[in-house]
Structure 1
Amino acid sequence: MNTNLTSGNLVIVRDSFAEKLLDLAKRALTADHVIPYLGPGLLGLNRAEPPVPHTPEAVAAALNTRAPAPAVIRTNMWSVAQFIEQRRHRRTLQAWMTDIFAASVAPTVLHAWLARLPLSLIVDSWYDGAMRTAFTQTGRADVVEIQGITRANESGDIWTKTYDLSGRELKADPAAKTVLYTPHGAISPAANFLVADSDYVEVLTEIDIQTPIPGVVKQRRANRGFFFVGCRFDDQMLRTYARQIMKRSEGPHCAVMDSKTLTRNEARFLAASGITVIDMPLTEAAARLVESATAAGASRAQHGARL
């Protein structure tokens, strides 16, 4: 059976159907009709072990080596970070997160491919900065990054900061071909991290009315769908952010995921959000996207076409 429609109306496509949908997603990406939404699972692509943690549980474990948290919260990144902030101060949590993500993360082939596309918007939901590095390596000057920031260090009514690829903070949102939106912050260029429960208190209070979402993100998502890759939604925080970032977007939406590993809450979220699951290993999906792009690029060059 190539396609499954679950009792919760979750659509899962496999085998040849999955290949066809992935090819359609590739075309939509190259035409700027779909927004990539990147998760930390990408860091394990063609690597034995990523140089930085690539799951919230791995971040929690790294923090626990520095300050052991109570057993009841030990595997929850957000709660462990809150425990450290309360007992060791925010500066300590900031320093430890900076140390945990200090290693340079080389972009994967998928990051490099996406960096060359004329995309209006990319969402990167992890702290590693590999997508930013991929843009820098292309030499592009038409990209800005908007990062979510903790309000713990701010006195004004501010939710994000904007940077160019040199690391310079921009006081106004300039016109840019591509906006890289990192809603939870990132290690570069200023070590902005939303990680403790307290970081999200005001954000989650306001996010339903979209206040923390940058205006340019709201504008550019309106007539597009989302393509989720390297993502999991097995925590309420991750589901809430994805739901609010997708809000009022046109669709369609799809996600490369292993359907056998989905939790009940993930399946419900995907079904409710209208996200079709492309049931395919991430390495296979990435290779198909990049190889297809190479062939398409050769064809366009022969015919004088452009993306």
Structure 2
Amino acid sequence: MDNIIQKLESGTLVPFIGMGVFENTKAKDGSTIPYDSDSMILALNNGRAMSDRLMYEYSRAAMSLEQRKGREFIVQMTNHIYASKEYDLPFTYEFLKAIKPKYMIDTNVDDSACKIYEDVDHFMITGTSRISAEYDRFIIYKFDAGSKEYKLIEKEELNDSLPILFKPMGCMIPEMNFIISDADFVDWLTEAMGGYALPPFLKEYKKEKSYMFLGTDFSRDTFRMVAHEITLGLKEGLMVTKKDELTKKENKFVNMHNLEVINEDCDTFLKSL
């Protein structure tokens, strides 16, 4: 795919960011930031491994912790993982900050993606789950670069006059709101399949886009299903991964979504651009 930077700026190519972009990131205290499912489980459980069944995927482990210790515990613990540490922006976010993509999807729940747009007005959409008031599984904010504040807006106010940051799994700001446990993902995906996970404007705006998947791991069903729902109607794309060999399900996803696989570390690939 040619002219990647120009396509990111115009919005025809959409970055889709996963946890793997944190692999080379260290906090100022020397500790690591979660960069895959296993490290996320260890962070949620105070550094302790869990049973093999729960170690399969962090959403399963988070569900077990939520059942034992309550919803508030898992929300506060998720926030603590990021809020308690100082760390530099991973290179992927630094690269994108210089470009400020017209539209971006970030499945991480910290505020790194928000820092890409911290000096420009923008819209931010965060996913939400397990609410009974309505079917919509999103909240929309408008960021004012002057006041540095996010303000809640109605879904009808969303448009492409400003950059759009979509954080489907929630964010630690402006409110702690996370899709982290199995129950969260089941609820979000159920409503996503019914068309309630994206604002009406975004459903049309996202059609015929190309996607650049960075730091994503689609070897487990959950995030593969999330990516499929968010990118319905895609044109083509790139998946940057340092894996030598993809699983059968990952290959099926790649072929179904017309993706070109780039066998490189994300940082190496972006630096080459």
Instruction: Name the TM tier (shorter chain).
Output: 0.7 to 0.9
Q: Is the 8 A contact 1:148 1:184 kept in 2?
A: yes
Distance 2:205 2:109 in 1: 22
Displacement of 1:85: 1.5
Q: Which residue of 1 aligns with 2:67?
A: 86
CA distance in 2, matches of 1:38, 1:60: 19
Match of 1:39 in 2: 18
Alignment partner, residue 161 of structure 1: 139
For 1:86-114, what per-residue CA distance to the aligned partner results, in whole angstroms no more than 9, with x for missing partners? 12111111111111121244323442342
Aligned match of 2:120: 140
Q: Are 2:38 and 2:57, in contact at CA under 8 Å, matched by a contact in 1?
A: yes
2:104·2:166 contact (CA, 8 Å) conserved in 1?
A: yes
Residues 227, 255 of structure 1: 8 Å contact kept: yes
CA contact (8 A) 2:40 2:58 kept: yes
| Post-superposition offset of 1:182 | 0.5
- How far the C-alpha of 1:207 sits from its partner, in A, is 2.0
Name stretches of at least 5 consecutive residues in structure 1 with no aligned partner. Answer: 1-20, 290-307
**8 Å contact from structure 1 (residues 148, 194) kept in 2:** yes
Q: Check conservation: 2:24, 2:90, Cα contact below 8 A.
A: yes
CA contact (8 A) 2:170 2:179 kept: yes
The letter for the 2-side match of 1:266 is E
Correspondence for 2:108? 126
In structure 1, C-alpha distance between the alignment counterparts of 2:231 and 2:244, rounded to whole Å: 24
Q: Which residue of 1 aligns with 2:82?
A: 101
Query: 1:210 and 1:66, CA in 2 relative to 1: closer, same or farther beyond 3 A?
Result: same
1:29 and 2:29 matched: no
Match of 2:183 in 1: 198
Q: 227-236 or 108-117: which moved more?
A: 108-117
Structure 2: gaps (5+ residues): none
Structure with higher Rg: it is 1
Cα distance in 2 for residues equivalent to 1:254 and 1:233: 14
The RMSD of aligned alpha carbons is 2.5
Q: CA separation in 1, counterparts of 2:38 and 2:109?
A: 14
1:203-259 superposed Cα distances (whole Å, 9 cap, x missing partner) = 22232232212223222211321111121111101100111111013x121111124
Q: Structure 1 pair 284/116, CA: closer, same or farther in 2 (3 Å)?
A: closer
- Matched position secondary structure for 2:45: helix
Higher helix fraction (1 or 2): 1
Letter paired with 1:140: V
Is 1:282 matched up with 2:266? yes
Q: Larger deviation: 174-183 or 25-34?
A: 25-34
Q: Give the percent of matched residue pairs that are identical in Structure 1 and Structure 2.
A: 20
The 5-angstrom pairing of residues 1-307 of structure 1 reads 21=1, 23-45=2-24, 51-65=32-46, 69-102=50-83, 103-117=85-99, 119-136=101-118, 139-141=119-121, 143-151=122-130, 155-165=133-143, 166-173=148-155, 174=157, 175=159, 176-249=161-234, 251-289=235-273
Worse-matched range after superposition: 59-68 or 183-192 = 59-68
TM-score between the two structures when normalised by the length of structure 2: 0.85
TM-score, normalized by length of structure 1?
Answer: 0.77
Report the AA paired with residue 189 of structure 2: L
